[in-house]
Amino acid sequence: MEPLPRDLTARPFSVQEAAERGIPVSRLRRRGLRSPFPGVRMADGAVDDIEALCRAYAPRMTEGQYFSHLTAARMWGMWLPTRFNPDELLDVTVTDTARAPRLPGVRGHHVDPDRAAATTLRGLPVATPLETVRTLAPLLGLEALIVLLDGVRSRTGRLVSEEQLLFMLAKHRGQRGVRKLRAAFEASRPGVDSPRETTLRRGVVRAGLPEPEVNAIISRPGEPLRLGDLVLRAWRVVIEYEGDHHQSDRTTYVGDIARFEQLADDWSFVRVTREHLRDMPSVIARIVRARRH
């Protein structure tokens, strides 16, 4: 059996490309190749992340097509209520006069060319972060949308500016999902570090407690800068979400102990883990008991 050209064993390719390179159809039916989508072949192997799935579909794409909606959100690493599932549908938007794609594994969408908003991400055509947020608004519940917005406004992973968000909300006023998106924006906060930190903050707010400041300064003037995850300043309470890295990174763990001891005279600390979030009433009770004023 004639081996495939080396470059084709390293990436998905279209049946049309194989034909143009003189590779017989019979070779494409033999063992060692799989067809993730009609008209596409790739070397056997797992497609176990969103980027690999997009790359498997990319040989079918023509100019004016791009990944959108949930697929784009996963490509951008947005904070979503569900994890990637290799069997989930790919969202593909077309902007030309052709019909949106309809084939197994794909959910097609159509948008007028003058309303398309796509860019290139790691070599793949993907909806811009702002357009991704807008198209997901009708599909997510309010709390999930708040988490999503906290993510695109996060301290280390910001994807859009405040000005861009406000412009989009004004430009698309009255369109499906935008009213909910505006409500989510008003409840969202910039500078958050993780989706579970958002879940914790929202649980505090829904319980009727004062809204915490996000990543606020808790050190005295002139001392080394110290920030608290969620700060109830009037209560002198700092709520710290202890992510996995706090427990697995020894340096972080030791540093946290020193930080809490140094500030114990000024603040009460409530430390919350992923397991604690399963029982939010107990977390709220701990916060109330920690209140100093």
User: Average pLDDT of each block of 10 consecutive residues along the chain (293 residues)?
Assistant: 77 87 82 85 82 93 92 97 92 85 91 85 96 95 96 92 92 87 96 94 96 94 90 96 66 64 86 94 96 82
Query: Can you give the pLDDT at residue 33?
Result: 84
DSSP 97: S
Query: Can you give the pLDDT at residue 115?
Result: 77
Query: Can you give the pLDDT at residue 62?
Result: 87
Look-up of token digits 């309010």? 142
DSSP string, 143-182: HHHHHHHHHHT-TTT--S-HHHHHHHHHHTTTSTTHHHHH
Query: Can you give the pLDDT at residue 150?
Result: 97
Count helices and strands (H / E) in the chain: 13, 12
End-to-end CA distance of the chain: 80
- Asked if 145 and 137 count as a contact pair (C-beta separation under 8 A), the reply is yes
Closest CA to 61 of 86, 89, 32, 91: 91
- Asked if 212 and 230 count as a contact pair (C-beta separation under 8 A), the reply is yes
The two tokens of residue 285 are 């009770």
Domain range list for the chain: 6-45, 51-187, 195-290
- Return the number of other C-beta atoms located less than 10 Å from residue 89's C-beta: 15
Q: What is the fold of 195-290? A: Endonuclease; Chain A (3.40.960)
The DSSP bridge partners found for residue 114 are: none
Query: Can you give the pLDDT at residue 257?
Result: 67
Q: What is the CA radius of gyration of the chain?
A: 24
By three-state DSSP, how is residue 206 classified?
helix
Query: Model pTM?
Result: 0.86
Alpha helix segments (H runs only) across the chain: 6-9, 15-20, 25-28, 50-57, 69-76, 129-136, 142-152, 162-171, 178-187, 195-206, 244-248, 250-262, 280-290
Query: Can you give the pLDDT at residue 1?
Result: 57
